[in-house]
Amino acid sequence: MMAACVCDDDRSRKMARGALVFGFVAYSLAYAMTAPAGAEDDAIATAPHRTAAIVLDGGLDEWNGVPAVALDSSSYLLSDPRHYEGNRDLGGAVQFVWDTTYLYAAGRFADDRLQAGAAWTSDRVNLVFDFRNDNHPLSYEGRAPDASNWQADDSWVYAHIVGDGPPPHPVMRLAADYHGPIEGAALVSRVVQGGWTFELRVPWSGLPEARPFVGAVLGLQIFVSDGDAEGGLTEIMWSDRWSWSPDAGLAWELWKMGKLVLTGVPAGG
């Protein structure tokens, strides 16, 4: 009996040691997977939960205290840097909140020349989503897949700051099987001293495979296009560095994204 008891104790100690080792390995792996390997891996934006209404008017009072993602002269200049003259040319920040019906975004940017209209050379905000957060280079045949080869959960959502016609302006979505306005989505902007603001909302129902819940992690890339009527478009990109060349334009490297985390933290009531 004694021997059996010693055996049991040994087995217990071994199991305890095994659990400790397993715990340490699991912790190490988890840390290795989440530890920053470089600034580009740190691109995580948060969207607090909002219960009070957002008034879509370009006024940003509701956005006080909401975390902001900076896009300015310290960010990656996606396109021809010869046309960029620093933060007064284009520099600012974008914020996000969400509720069960809408994803909202807002921004305030310095911009020395507002280029209105819905042309590709007009001022524009761009949000590229990987809603399942599952993109990987192996998912695609080409290095930069054209939209027809995108996954069903990948969407480019964009809107011109001052589009054609009166506000609210449409918010567009380009995906593998769709390019057009998002029903129920809208952007309203304001021209302010030295720049502009915008607020936009997009109903989750207009975003295929998007699932809003506390803790959801979406792949997200942000870039802002600055039309200045100076012969070129300057674009500032948030996370990672998608290739760009004057001839080929933008390479849609959809696996190089930051993350947008939907949190349960209340934002402004």
Question: Does residue 197 touch Ca ion according to CB under 5 A?
Answer: no
Question: Does residue 123 touch Ca ion according to CB under 5 A?
Answer: yes
Q: Report the residue from 151, 155, 189, 225 that binds Ca ion according to the rule CB under 5 A.
A: 151
Minimum distance from residue 195 beta carbon to Ca ion (Å): 9
Distance (Å, whole) CA 16 – CA 3: 19
Minimum distance from residue 62 beta carbon to Ca ion (Å): 5
Alpha carbon of residue 148 to chain centroid = 21
**Per-position DSSP letters for 112-159, written without gaps between them:** SS---SSSTTS-EEEEEEETTS---GGG-SSSS--GGGS-TTEEEEEE
User: Is residue 19 helix, strand or coil?
Assistant: helix
Tokens read off for 233: 């478009």
Question: Does residue 55 touch Ca ion according to CB under 5 A?
Answer: yes
Minimum distance from residue 49 beta carbon to Ca ion (Å): 17
Distance (Å, whole) CA 60 – CA 127: 19
Determine the Cα angle at 51 with ends 61 and 156, to 5°: 80
Question: Does residue 111 touch Ca ion according to CB under 5 A?
Answer: yes
Given the rule CB under 5 A, which of 37-45, 57-65, 161-169, 260-268 is the region that contacts Ca ion? 57-65
Of 95 and 206, nearer to Ca ion (C-beta) is: 95
Distance (Å, whole) CA 96 – CA 104: 6
Of 153 and 235, nearer to Ca ion (C-beta) is: 153
Of 69 and 111, nearer to Ca ion (C-beta) is: 111
Question: Does residue 6 touch Ca ion according to CB under 5 A?
Answer: no
Question: Does residue 89 touch Ca ion according to CB under 5 A?
Answer: no
Minimum distance from residue 55 beta carbon to Ca ion (Å): 4
Of 35 and 117, nearer to Ca ion (C-beta) is: 117
Given the rule CB under 5 A, which of 30-38, 69-77, 133-141, 175-183 is the region that contacts Ca ion? 133-141
Site pattern 204..243 for Ca ion (x: CB under 5 A) = ----------------------x-x---------------
Contact residues for 64 (Cβ-Cβ < 8 A; gap 6+): 268
Q: Report the candidate in 186, 180, 12, 220 with the shortest Cα–Cα distance to residue 96.
A: 220
- What dihedral do alpha carbons 29, 31, 35, 37 form, nearest 10°? -20
Question: Does residue 115 touch Ca ion according to CB under 5 A?
Answer: yes
Binding site for Ca ion (CB under 5 A): 55, 57, 59, 111, 113, 115, 123, 130, 132, 134-135, 151, 153-154, 226, 228
